[in-house]
């Protein structure tokens, strides 16, 4: 059944790299606040950097809970699960950091992914625990295709429209924590 692994290697790495979707879970510090779980997809937006580091391209969307929580406390779990014939669930527990669009090292991290008009950050996770479990209760499902909605939507908005959208939707979390307010900071061009 379940097993804890020393690192992201071999079978675990291969499994992670085959999955078309992953889930990111974060929560604010202290009592109260909302736990957030975000489904993520789109090909080539997740990479295993090394045995203890992963990263994904964070895209402008309707919320910025993950960014708010990571900036507050850094705690994160990334989960992958198989909906194919061989069941499996892999969880990566660790400390995450936000490399924002205007950070000096954004270009270096973003170069690991295809260019995307919706990019607002790269989330880098220093993985402290790698585990897998059976996934026996997961349904069998097949992937028809990726949705081609988010990126074209942001492309149609253009750079100024994406900026306005982030300013309107991504400044704070649903609990009022600072989230992606980088568009107004030093080096943002605002």
User: Is the model's pLDDT at 25 over the cut of 90?
Assistant: yes
Q: Give me the chain's average pLDDT, please.
A: 94
pLDDT at position 190, please? 58
pLDDT at position 1, please? 60
Residue with more model confidence, 2 or 165:
165
Write the pLDDT tens digit of every residue in 113-145: 999 999 999 999 999 999 999 999 999 999 999
User: Is the model's pLDDT at 185 over the cut of 80?
Assistant: no
pLDDT at position 186, please? 67
pLDDT at position 187, please? 63
Residue with more model confidence, 61 or 184:
61
Phi and psi at residue 96, to the nearest 5°: -110, 155
- Residue range 59-80: mean pLDDT, rounded: 97
CA distances from 185 to 42, 101, 181, 188 (A): 29, 11, 7, 6
């Amino acid at each position: 059944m379940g097993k804890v692994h020393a690192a992201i290697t071999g079978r675990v790495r291969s499994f992670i790299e085959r999955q078309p979707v992953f889930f990111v879970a974060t929560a604010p510090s202290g009592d109260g606040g909302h736990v957030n779980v975000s489904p993520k997809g789109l090909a080539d937006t997740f990479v295993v950097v090394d045995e203890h580091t992963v990263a994904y391209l964070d895209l402008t969307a309707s919320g910025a809970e993950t960014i708010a929580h990571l900036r507050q406390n850094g705690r994160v779990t990334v989960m992958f699960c198989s909906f194919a014939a061989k069941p499996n669930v892999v969880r990566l527990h660790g400390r995450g950091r936000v490399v924002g669009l205007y950070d000096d090292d954004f270009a270096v991290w973003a170069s690991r992914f295809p260019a995307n008009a919706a990019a607002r950050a790269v989330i880098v996770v220093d993985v402290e625990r790698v585990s897998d479990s059976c996934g026996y209760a997961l349904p069998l499902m097949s992937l028809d295709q990726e949705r081609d909605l988010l990126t074209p939507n942001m492309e149609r908005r253009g750079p100024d429209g994406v900026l306005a959208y982030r300013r309107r939707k991504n400044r704070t979390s649903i609990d009022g924590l600072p989230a992606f307010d980088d568009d107004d900071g030093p080096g943002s061009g605002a």
